[in-house]
Structure 1
Amino acid sequence: MELRHLVSFLAIAEELHFGRAAARLHLAQPSLSQHLQRLERSVGVALVARNSHEVRLTPAGETFRELAQDIVARAERAGQAARAAAAGRAGTVRVGYNFPAGQRILPATLTALHSRHPAIDVTMFEMRTGPQLAALADGRLDVAMVYGKPAATNLTSRLLLRVPLVAVVGREHRWAGLDRVPFGELAGEPCVLFNREQSSAMYDTIFSAARTSGIQLTVAEEVDDPGATAILAAVKPVVGFASALRGRLTDVRSPGARTTTVPLVDPVPILDLHAVWPTEHGPLVNAFLECLPPGAVE
């Protein structure tokens, strides 16, 4: 049983006309008939019935058609995979991401990548900005999705998303339920922050907004895990910070949540989410980057 004979049979099955099927495959009609005869001898049953008035599939041909379609499709995918490997479009891309990227960027990117390059796999790691950039620098990541635009000359970046920061407070906090709070109201409020190395862009954005408001922040707690910020805010009279996207998951208005989020204004602290990759990179990274959606504002 040869693949070309299956292709000829499928053309006949779809056209139900030997002349049209032969023209579609750029074959002479006698050659097409020979392909069918050889296939039927190989299978051992008649697959096509024809007379001077019509061409139709036999019951055996109808059954055979579905399996033949699968065989031909698999052969085509095998060829595509081989060509992708030869062109460097097969393998694994290691991608780091933070929460907003996981919510807004990765789903559409992975869908497009699977559609365009099914031979490329993606291994994903959720990390804060600092650890992602460290992993990118030592080769453990191929692409990072981080807050801020790195200054390193050996890295290239692209803006993906602009995300506002919000305050995270417990349900008993005096801000709970407010529509918004001026950033200057943080003067004297005990805050939960994190080590700057974990996310320098987020850290600097918070302190820049404080300077613009003419206040100094009171750092009462320091935790490096974003989930721990919500836990502390739920049990202590402190103010944490989160992206608006993450904040929605910890909001008291969601079932089981013990905190709520409050938009910060005057100024609104905004984080720029960038895709970052080495300036010198291969076709796998190119294929992933081509599938990134256009930038947006959350």
Structure 2
Amino acid sequence: MEYRHVLAFLAIADELHFGRAALRLHLTQPSLSQQLQRLECTLGVELVARTTHEVHLTRAGQAFEVEARELVRLVEQAGRPARKAAAGRSGTIRVGYNFPAAQHVLPSVMEKMQADRPDVAVVLEEKRTGPQLQALERGALDVALVYGRPATAKFRYRRLMRLSLVAVVRQRHKWAGRPGVPFAELAGQPCVLFERELCPAMYDAIVRAADEAGIGLDVVHEIDHPATTEILVTARSLVGFASISRAMLAGAVAGGARTVAVPLYDPVPAVDLYAVWRDDQDDRLRDSFLECLDAAGPFSSPPAHKSIRS
């Protein structure tokens, strides 16, 4: 049974006139008659009786009309969510994010999504930059909120904001009471850095600042999680690095110890936060998230103008 044949039958049932029914469906009368005959052949019954003077439904036609109208209603009902999904107004979108995105971007974007796209479910996944981009490439994420502009032409991107990077030291460190430290003073200071593959942009920003300051960094640890920086820095007289966003909210670590964030300058190391997505497909749902992202901006981070105690 073809759906178009059902619609042809219902047009005849409404009009009880082949000419008017054919006109309504933009068909010729022979074509309409042929569709009715194919439907009757499929069902094995006569649905419509006609004479020179009138057209009427048979008993079988009257019974079939009830079910046919219910079928059309169900098809139309099923089509509404599909149309909303195609228009980017319903469905699920998977968004990766890092700490600054959670603090400065997502709250207003999620509020906008709830207001404008209440039927869109946003699944959020916190990951470092490297894992986010890997997930984006294999299709496990639709949008990534990451540090740094991606190097591959597979992705498109949009810059959202710039964040200063600060030094993180323990409370007994000689820098702990200072409002800021020239980057050159890192010469000879044992440092903790993130593994580059996890966050290339942040790693490169720190190394680039060292080059501009004319110094080399004494990197004694490369770690894979921000909490590890706080633990190592608290245990030893080391210098770690963090975004100003994370430094502002850094809390107690193991044993109740706390760290101090100290701004760096000459130069000020900084990293850009980007929204990134694949360039190989048209996705209205993803585009609806990006539209809300645009509407919620511009975004800004707190200035790193003085030491911040956690």
TM-score by length of 1: 0.70
Instruction: Read off the aligned partner of 1:170 and give its amino acid letter.
Output: R
What is the alpha-carbon distance in structure 2 between the residues aligned to residue 181 and residue 88 of structure 1? Answer: 48
What is the alpha-carbon distance in structure 2 between the residues aligned to residue 82 and residue 222 of structure 1? Answer: 48
Aligned to 1:288: 289
Question: Over the residues paired in the alignment, what is the CA RMSD in angstroms?
Answer: 1.9
Aligned to 2:228: 228
Cα deviation, residue 156, structure 1 = 0.8
Aligned to 1:163: 163
Cα deviation, residue 82, structure 1 = 6.6
What is the alpha-carbon distance in structure 2 between the residues aligned to residue 129 and residue 150 of structure 1? Answer: 10
Residues 244 and 181 (structure 1), Cα distance of their counterparts in 2 relative to 1, 3 Å cut: same
Cα deviation, residue 216, structure 1 = 0.3
Instruction: Read off the aligned partner of 1:147 and give its amino acid letter.
Output: Y
What is the alpha-carbon distance in structure 2 between the residues aligned to residue 86 and residue 210 of structure 1? Answer: 49
Deviations 1:256-297 (A, max 9, x none): 661010000000011100000012340110010001132434
Aligned to 1:98: 98
Instruction: From the CA coordinates, give the structure whose radius of gyration is larger.
Output: 2
Cα deviation, residue 84, structure 1 = 1.8
Aligned to 1:262: 262
Aligned to 2:186: 186
Deviations 1:219-238 (A, max 9, x none): 11121101110111111100
Aligned to 2:85: 85
SS of the residue corresponding to residue 100 of structure 2 reads helix
Aligned to 1:136: 136
Residues 187 and 103 (structure 1), Cα distance of their counterparts in 2 relative to 1, 3 Å cut: same
Cα deviation, residue 163, structure 1 = 0.3
Unpaired runs of at least 5, structure 2: 1-77, 302-310
Unpaired runs of at least 5, structure 1: 1-77
Cα deviation, residue 80, structure 1 = 7.9
Instruction: Read off the aligned partner of 1:123 and give its amino acid letter.
Output: V
Instruction: Read off the aligned partner of 2:235 and give its amino acid letter.
Output: V
What is the alpha-carbon distance in structure 2 between the residues aligned to residue 135 and residue 219 of structure 1? Answer: 29
Contact kept? 2:145, 2:276, Cα under 8 Å: yes
Instruction: Read off the aligned partner of 1:117 and give its amino acid letter.
Output: R
Q: Counterparts of 1:196-207 in structure 2 under 5 Å?
A: 196-207=196-207
What is the alpha-carbon distance in structure 1 between the residues aligned to residue 277 and residue 222 of structure 2? Answer: 30
What is the alpha-carbon distance in structure 2 between the residues aligned to residue 142 and residue 214 of structure 1? Answer: 40
1:112 aligns with 2:112: yes
What is the alpha-carbon distance in structure 2 between the residues aligned to residue 171 and residue 79 of structure 1? Answer: 62
Deviations 1:174-217 (A, max 9, x none): 00021000000000000001211001100000000000000000
What is the alpha-carbon distance in structure 2 between the residues aligned to residue 288 and residue 118 of structure 1? Answer: 12
Cα deviation, residue 83, structure 1 = 4.9
Residues 86 and 219 (structure 1), Cα distance of their counterparts in 2 relative to 1, 3 Å cut: closer
Deviations 1:105-160 (A, max 9, x none): 00110110111011100111111111111111111110000111112112111111
Q: How many equivalent pairs are there?
A: 218
Contact kept? 1:84, 1:90, Cα under 8 Å: yes
Contact kept? 1:209, 1:267, Cα under 8 Å: yes
Aligned to 1:27: none
SS of the residue corresponding to residue 157 of structure 1 reads strand
SS of the residue corresponding to residue 140 of structure 1 reads coil
Contact kept? 2:85, 2:285, Cα under 8 Å: no
